[in-house]
A and B are shown apart, each in its own frame.
Chain A
Amino acid sequence: MSVLSDTAVITQRQLRLLTRVPEVLIFSTIQPVMFVLLFRYVFGGSINTGQPGGYVQLLMPGIFVQTVAFTLAGTASGLAEDMKKGLIDRFRSLPISQSALVVGRTLGDSLLNIVVLLVMGIAGYVVGWRPSSGAGNVALGFLFLLFFGYALSWVGALVGLSASDARVVQNVSFIVTFPLTFLSNAFAPTTGMPRALQYFAEWNPVSTMVAACRQLFGLQNQFGATAGSFPSEHPLTTSFFYIIVIMVIFIPLSLRKYRNSAN
């Protein structure tokens, strides 16, 4: 199947980034590592979680979700850059499957997440993160995170292919990911938020993902779960639903955008 082999070639190109520009890995982990340190040691001391092991147990799933959410920006700016440099024209003039470039890019970016999450997991361990649910569940949690990152990568693909300028992409990605990650239960309980924000935060896919990961990592006490609200009671189901919905909407939209960039 040439679609598969073409996609594999593009994915390899993505992964080669790691060996050619190791800085990329450093920069995509340095920010989350700083967040870990900031929340763990600056704010964490004044947040009372009533959680055995303390705030860091709640914090790390939030950091993981935030980290994979930035895949959106990575894919978007990568594709926008390829468009600007004319690289997409070259790919489109080749006798290859026309979806390979976008599919390969999203896959590659998601595979890079494996390395990033590994680094973040180690960083978490160093500052005291100890999941209590056993290796199987932890692995499942990470798989779920990768899956979420893959879905968001397709949102990024649409942003990157639609944008006229790489700087616009940066801004749009920031505007999308910043409120999503902070108006959530990732770093602080949602119960302290005004009612309207609380409502948003509960249904926010980032919150459901964070809650799902906390569950998979063996935490009972959910940050800001309002008793009775569906997403906080069923974070795994809700997150899974979100991921599927995002993919169902954004994969065809991005592929169509790519094909139509001819006109």
Chain B
Amino acid sequence: MKSIIAEQLVKTYDKGKIRALDGLNLDVEEGTVLGVLGPNGAGKTTVVRILSTLLRPDSGAATVAGIDVIKNPEKVREVIGLSGQYAAVDEILTGYDNLVMFGELYHLGKKNAIIRANELLERFSLTDAGKRPIKTYSGGMRRRLDLAASLIVKPKVLFLDEPTTGLDPRGRQEMWGVIQELVKGGVTLLLTTQYLEEADQLADEIAVIDTGKVIARGTSDTLKKQVGGERLEVVVEAAHVAKTLEIVEAISGIKPSFDEGLRQISAPVSTGSQALFEVLKAFDSAGIHALDVGLKRPSLDDVFLSLTGHAAEIKEESK
């Protein structure tokens, strides 16, 4: 069953001059994670805002957990959790106060709101920080608290809009860990990101969007295959370069490229780990000591570049 369906969503701003969404189609299978990947201004936030009832599309249709987003926004709000680009919590209140307040707004009643707040603080390792005002939190802690606030009623569908934008590498790692745990619990998740690595890490499937449309869709693997297969890369000492070029060409069937500075020889291969095995065997019998041998798959950066014709550069966000 599909938990999220978006059909032909169009949203324009500035009297039609800016087409934030230009006939966007999406669907997410229940219990899976879809990563919506694209540069700033591609329309990621607009999709999330429409699906989470914050914004009405100019045209098109969408359902979340089977409920029509445009006709029944109140019902949708009961089953979703949203965590945005900004940590949308009250800075002056403590973490605990925030969670209790949101719990009460979800009509849990004071007693249950307190129980749930403590559970969530514990789960996100914020029990001690819970007593402090949010303004004393680090960026990563704020995001975790914000995520906790979106999980108060155990939503069926969760939207995370750029959950790690602006976090340092450590904060990002922590957030990934938290999200991975969450996904094991079976929630349907739509996650937007401009980090290719993040989509690779967290999502079952990836939808690449650019200028308001989905331009490619698939698992990380299929997207990578779409761009091209794996490459065999070896680094050897200068003395062995000539012999190595021969060996690699024999395995690949294509003349390898040679980077003189790195002394790196690489060529596309279609046999995967078999090629790796063959090259090591050949090195062994030729007495070549390889400094580095590896199979490299194209990165999602390569994917984006080949799909859009431009790199995933940062464009001015058009809201």
Contacts and interface: CB of A to CB of B under 8 A. Distances in A.
Q: Do A and B come from one complex?
A: yes
A13 B52 contact: no
Contacts, number: 71
Given A2-B107, A9-B104, A86-B84, A93 B54 contact: yes
Given A2-B107, A13-B90, A90 B133 contact: no
- With a 10 A CB-CB cut-off, give which of A20, A86, A91, A100 has the most chain B CB atoms: A86
Contacts of B91: 85
B97 interface: yes
A229 interface: no
A136 B84 CA distance: 51
Interface stretch (B73-81, B232-240, B275-283): B73-81
- With a 10 A CB-CB cut-off, give which of A2, A6, A93 has the most chain B CB atoms: A93
Contacts of B49: 89
A262 B11 CA distance: 12
A94 B84 contact: no
A87 B82 CA distance: 11
Contact of A86 (B86, B101, B104, B105): B86
A85 B106 contact: no
Contact of B88 (A90, A95, A96): A90
A85 B102 CA distance: 16
B85 A86 contact: yes
Interface in A83-117: 85-87, 89-96, 100
Interface in B58-93: 74, 77-78, 80, 82, 84-93
Interface string A6-28: 10010011001100110000000
Given A13-B101, A20-B92, A90 B82 contact: yes
Contacts of B92: 16-17, 20-21
A5 interface: yes
A178 to B, nearest CB: 27
- With a 10 A CB-CB cut-off, give which of A85, A86, A90, A262 has the most chain B CB atoms: A90
Contacts of B107: 2, 5, 95
Given A20-B92, A87-B90, A93 B82 contact: yes
A161 to B, nearest CB: 15
Interface residues of A, number: 24
Contacts of A262: 53-56
A263 interface: yes
Given A89-B54, A262-B56, A94 B102 contact: yes
A93 B77 contact: yes
Contacts of B89: 87, 90
Contacts of B56: 262-263
Interface residues of A, dominant DSSP = helix
B160 interface: no
Interface residues of B, number: 32
Contact of B74 (A17, A87, A95): A95
A16 B104 CA distance: 15
B93 A9 contact: no
Contact of B77 (A16, A17, A95, A263): A95
B93 A89 contact: no
A101 to B, nearest CB: 9
A57 to B, nearest CB: 38
B175 interface: no
A138 B101 CA distance: 36
Contacts of A6: 105
Nearest to B103: A9
A20 B133 contact: yes
Interface string B44-58: 000001001111100
Interface in A180-204: none
Contacts of B78: 95
Contact of B93 (A20, A94, A96): A20
B300 interface: no
B149 interface: yes
Interface string B94-129: 100100011011110000000000000000000000
- With a 10 A CB-CB cut-off, give which of B89, B90, B97, B133 has the most chain A CB atoms: B90
Given A17-B92, A85-B91, A262-B56, A95 B106 contact: yes
Contacts of B106: 94-95
A87 B93 CA distance: 13
A184 B174 CA distance: 58
Given A262-B54, A262-B56, A89 B84 contact: yes
A89 B88 contact: yes
Contacts of B55: 262-263
B20 to A, nearest CB: 12
A245 to B, nearest CB: 32
Interface of B: 49, 52-56, 74, 77-78, 80, 82, 84-94, 97, 101-102, 104-107, 133, 149-150
5 contacts: A9-B101, A85-B87, A86-B86, A94-B106, A262-B56
Per CB-CB distance, the 3 closest pairs between chain A and chain B, nearest first, are A86-B86, A90-B88, A86-B88
